[in-house]
Amino acid sequence: MESDGVDEFLAHRPRLFSLAYRMFGAATEAEDAVQEAYLRWALADRADIVNPEAWLTTVTVNLCRTQLVSARARRETYVGQWLPEPLPTGDGALGPLATVEERESLSLAVLTAMERLSPVERAVFVLREAFGYSHAEIADMLELTVANSQQIFHRAGQRVRTGKQRFVVSAEHARTMIEKFLHAATTGDVAGLRTLLADDVVSIADGGGRVVAAKRPVVGGDVVARYLSNLRRFLNATSRFEFAEINGETALILIQDDVPAGVLVFDFDEAGTIAAVRTVVNPVKLAAVTV
């Protein structure tokens, strides 16, 4: 391909990856979709492409829709709880996160909830919520009517937001609470840990059958406090924790032997207490996490 065609694609590539990642909740699958979009771009008669952004977005989102069928089939046989692959966002690699909607669409909570959606529901939700495309543009990309796009978006939003509401807290509050959580969890302070947790807190861990992790969610303040107070049992002499921005949220990275071994992401409720702890320790899902 001529250099201007390559440069044009590279200019759009970060946005395409960000779109595909939100569709899959998995970086590897997102990379595959973007690579296939590149191949189609290379083979296309670009003289006929009036709007490269719209063309590439349409190709990418429809590739994702097709590939989601097999991706979801694989997840049905996944060992234990499935969580999205955590990605660092402090460097802006996944696009702007200036609005609540942009951050929400990237959070592990919402990406997990989007597993309830069909491929077309997921596509409409991501294009509208995260990228702000109009329903007319979405309808054109997905070969829908505007009315259908609006209906699908409304239905998808209801399904994604079913359950306990998430609240956005300041980065300062999140860090303070997580520091207290870390101290209590690594010293076995069950009582201290319990004061930080909501009564209906849930802990979800993804080990993928490769690392020991609870195969079902652990629910309830007293139970979760006892469960997470055992965190110190999994640490060794080389273990340490570092703060990072993961999927737009303040998170902890567990590092062992200078290699990321886990990511902990937290949700908060209206009172500012911890409402959910999502822990990814499946090493396959930690490839993009660096220290």
Which pLDDT score is estimated for 3? 75
- Give the mean pLDDT of the chain: 91
Q: Which runs of E-coded beta strand occur in the chain?
A: 197-206, 218-219, 240-246, 249-256, 259-268, 274-280
Q: Each residue of 183-228: pLDDT tens digit?
A: 999 999 999 999 999 999 999 999 999 998 999 999 999 999 999 9
Long-range contacts, 37-41 (Cβ 8 Å, 24+): 37/63, 38/9, 38/13, 41/1, 41/5, 41/9
Under 8 Å between Cβ of 210 and 74: no
Per-residue pLDDT averaged across 262-288, rounded? 95
Please report which confidence band the pLDDT of residue 74 belongs to, taking 50, 70 and 90 as the band edges: confident
Which pLDDT score is estimated for 233? 79
Task: Pick the more confident residue, 76 or 201.
Answer: 201
Return residue ranges of the chain for CATH 1.20.140.160: 3-160
Does the domain at 171-286 match CATH 3.40.350.10? Answer given as no
| Chain centroid to CA 120 | 18
Under 8 Å between Cβ of 269 and 169: no
Return residue ranges of the chain for CATH 3.10.450.50: 171-286
- The CATH architecture of the domain made up of 3-160 is Up-down Bundle (1.20)
